[in-house]
């Protein structure tokens, strides 16, 4: 344990590897210390407020649009800042972690923007936390290259327009245990933000763009206010003009869906719009109303499409809200990974096309893909609607009127709860956790790119079905014994499929953690918190 770079009261306890000093600079660590001392108390208050809301909902309260912020919603005069350079045309956005290979593939993808993910598609091993901004710095400097263990070389192409980099830091709930200030663990959010901003912010400004961010898992406009204060503190500390930072907020929690306008308002000088997630939103439905029984019971996760009533209400309200305030509305993820099987590809591409056509026709300004092989399809679909226009913010969707009851109408979701769905949740959840514990947060499973949100909805559904005594479509009741039996069977199938490689994995840890989350009496808010404790 040592004091790094003479920053008083700050300790870096993670190992210092080659070139880490280029990211863990005095300038960056001074910013981490400043943000921690000014904001960490408020961060912890906001996390406590989440727990208070859960208790209130368990006692019979509900979610709704806030009366105390009605004046913000009814004031038609305010707008967010105009789109920043590089964020005007966002018709297709690539997503993925910031390891060297994935960074190069994302930059070569032909997408307009790249969500450089330090959150759900990234496992927060200490090396990943520091190497992420280091790889981004190299990409901006034009020095990024990678050679795989097999000898394959990866380099950034010089014949494509590189996407705008948008970094997604960790959510407010996650700590960073390898950096402490005054003896306290720091915030993963603020560490990711500060390390990227200090190392790459001015470089991005110098190349005509800026430091841009995606903000995950917020549950209220007061959490957005905390981010806005962090932006102002950091910009002032580094001598960057206020408003240079821009941020797109993921509306991926149930409570945030009722505070979209207020979130835009809090971030209005730094806002770049909102994004409509899917798995995390469904995860939040279960988490928020976990004590409320059948009214919030979801069927098999793969049957809950964006066209079911409560999801449709949420996405249409998001487009209307964004465009009313001059902000971009960005659609959800196409997680499909192109296969070597033409039949599989044909079916999957048709589903992705239909999903993107719905988004483009609803008024979204762009959408996400998880694999470079899907960039062309998404671009084609949005260009068919946008033409030469960079976005369709002028499509106001004033025809949309969404009441709180529509956002809460989970009961009308069609679909069954099946044994196949239960097996899939258990198998995919365990496979993902095992990979995450080893340091890889973006995992291809069954031709889909899975991230932490997949594991969260998977274990949450198993918990919800078990604690509500759900009867599967085959007539069998979900019990602890059934979950444990299927877990044993799925583990055997995974071991057979992996062969010799199985013995070198962290399968016992992954199985134990998944079951701990899925069958415990008390529901844990985040799978990633106990998983992080199991990391070095």
Per-residue pLDDT of 142-153, as tens digits, reads 999 999 999 999
Residue 3: which pLDDT band, with cuts at 50, 70 and 90? Answer: very low
| Residue 2, pLDDT score | 39
pLDDT one-digit tens code per residue, 468-514 = 999 999 999 999 999 999 999 999 999 999 999 899 999 999 999 99
| Residue 5, pLDDT score | 56
Q: Is the pLDDT score of 4 beyond 60? A: no
Number of Cβ within 10 Å of residue 445's Cβ equals 17
Instruction: Give the whole-angstrom CA distance, residue 252 versus residue 311.
Output: 11
For residues 418-444, give the mean pLDDT: 95
Planar angle of CA 278, 94, 189, nearest 5 degrees: 70
pLDDT one-digit tens code per residue, 407-425 = 999 999 999 999 999 999 9
Domains located in the chain, CATH noted: 10-405 (3.20.20.360), 416-534 (1.20.1220.12)
| Residue 278, pLDDT score | 86
For residues 299-315, give the mean pLDDT: 96
> In b/e form, how buried is each residue of 22-61, taking b as 16+ CB within 10 angstroms?
ebbbeebbbbbbbbbeebbeebeebeeebeebbeebeeee
Q: Which residue is it, tokens 């009741």?
A: 477
| Residue 446, pLDDT score | 87
| Residue 1, pLDDT score | 36
Residue 159: which pLDDT band, with cuts at 50, 70 and 90? Answer: confident
Q: Is the distance from CB of 23 to CB of 193 less than 8 angstroms?
A: no
By C-alpha distance, which of 497, 494, 498, 470 is closest to 482? 470
| Residue 290, pLDDT score | 93
pLDDT one-digit tens code per residue, 273-298 = 999 988 899 999 999 999 999 999 99
Entry pTM = 0.96
Q: For 333, phi and psi rounded to 5 degrees?
A: -85, 135
Residue 458: which pLDDT band, with cuts at 50, 70 and 90? Answer: very high
Q: Which residue is it, tokens 């970094």?
A: 167
DSSP state of 301: G
Q: Is the pLDDT score of 42 beyond 90? A: yes
Alpha helices in 112-187 (DSSP H): 126-141
Residue 303: which pLDDT band, with cuts at 50, 70 and 90? Answer: very high
pLDDT one-digit tens code per residue, 320-334 = 999 999 999 999 999
For residues 168-180, give the mean pLDDT: 98
Helix, coil or strand: residue 340: coil
Taking phi over 0 as left and psi of -120 to 50 as alpha, with beta for the rest, 401 belongs to beta
DSSP of 421-447: HHHHHHHHHHHHHHHHHTT---EEETT
pLDDT one-digit tens code per residue, 371-416 = 999 999 999 999 999 999 999 999 999 999 999 999 999 999 999 9
Per the prediction, the chain carries an average pLDDT of 96
Find residue 337's DSSP bridge partners.
none
Sheet with 184-187: list strands edge to edge: 10-12, 175-181, 184-187
Instruction: Give the whole-angstrom CA distance, residue 26 versus residue 451.
Output: 33
Catalytic residue list: 168, 451
Q: Which residue is it, tokens 């050679």?
A: 147
Planar angle of CA 267, 119, 270, nearest 5 degrees: 15
């Amino acid at each position: 344990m040592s004091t790094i770079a003479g920053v008083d009261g700050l300790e870096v306890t993670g190992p210092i590897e080659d070139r880490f000093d280029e990211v863990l600079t005095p300038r960056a660590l001074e910013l981490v210390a400043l943000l921690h001392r000014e904001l960490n108390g408020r961060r912890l208050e906001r996390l406590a407020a989440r727990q208070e809301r859960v208790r209130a909902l368990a006692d019979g309260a509900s979610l709704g649009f806030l009366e105390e912020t009605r004046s913000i919603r009814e004031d038609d005069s305010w707008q967010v800042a105009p789109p920043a350079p590089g964020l005007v045309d966002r018709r297709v956005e690539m997503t993925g972690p910031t390891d060297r290979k994935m960074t190069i593939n994302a930059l070569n993808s032909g997408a307009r923007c790249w969500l450089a993910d330090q959150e759900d598609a990234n496992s927060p091993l200490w090396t990943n936390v520091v190497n992420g901004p280091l790889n981004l710095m190299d990409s901006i400097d034009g020095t990024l290259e990678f050679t795989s263990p097999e000898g394959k070389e990866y380099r950034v192409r010089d014949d494509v327009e590189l996407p705008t980099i948008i970094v997604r830091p960790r959510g407010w709930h996650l700590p960073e245990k390898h950096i402490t200030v005054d003896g306290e663990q720091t915030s993963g959010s603020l560490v990711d933000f500060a390390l990227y901003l200090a190392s790459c912010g001015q470089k991005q400004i110098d190349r005509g763009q800026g430091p841009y961010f995606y903000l995950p898992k917020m549950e209220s406009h007061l959490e957005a206010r905390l981010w806005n204060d962090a932006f102002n503190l950091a910009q002032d500390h580094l001598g960057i003009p206020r408003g240079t930072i821009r941020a797109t907020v993921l509306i991926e929690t149930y409570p945030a869906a009722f505070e979209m306008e207020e979130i835009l308002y809090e971030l209005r000088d730094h806002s770049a719009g909102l994004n409509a997630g899917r798995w995390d939103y469904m995860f939040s439905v279960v988490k928020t109303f976990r004590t409320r029984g059948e009214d919030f019971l979801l069927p098999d996760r793969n049957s809950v499409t964006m066209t079911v009533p409560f999801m449709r209400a949420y996405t249409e309200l998001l487009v209307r809200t964004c465009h009313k305030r001059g902000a971009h509305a960005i659609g959800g993820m196409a997680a499909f990974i192109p296969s070597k099987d033409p039949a599989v590809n044909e079916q999957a591409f048709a589903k992705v096309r239909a999903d993107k056509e719905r988004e483009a026709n609803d008024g979204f300004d762009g959408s996400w893909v998880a694999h470079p092989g899907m960039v062309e399809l998404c671009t084609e679909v949005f260009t068919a609607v946008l033409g030469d226009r960079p976005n369709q913010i002028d499509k106001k969707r004033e025809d949309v009127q969404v009441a709180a009851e529509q956002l809460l109408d989970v009961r009308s979701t069609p679909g069954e709860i099946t044994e196949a769905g239960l097996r899939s949740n258990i198998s995919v959840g365990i496979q993902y956790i095992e990979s995450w514990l080893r340091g890889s947060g973006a995992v291809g499973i069954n031709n889909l790119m899975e991230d932490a949100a997949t594991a969260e909805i998977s274990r949450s559904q198993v918990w919800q079905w078990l604690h509500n005594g759900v009867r599967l479509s085959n007539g069998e009741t979900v019990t602890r014994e059934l979950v444990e039996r299927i877990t044993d069977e799925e583990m055997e199938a995974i071991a057979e499929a992996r062969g010799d490689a199985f013995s070198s994995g962290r399968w016992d840890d992954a199985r134990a953690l998944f079951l701990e989350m899925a069958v415990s009496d008390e529901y844990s808010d985040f799978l990633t918190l106990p998983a992080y404790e199991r990391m070095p």
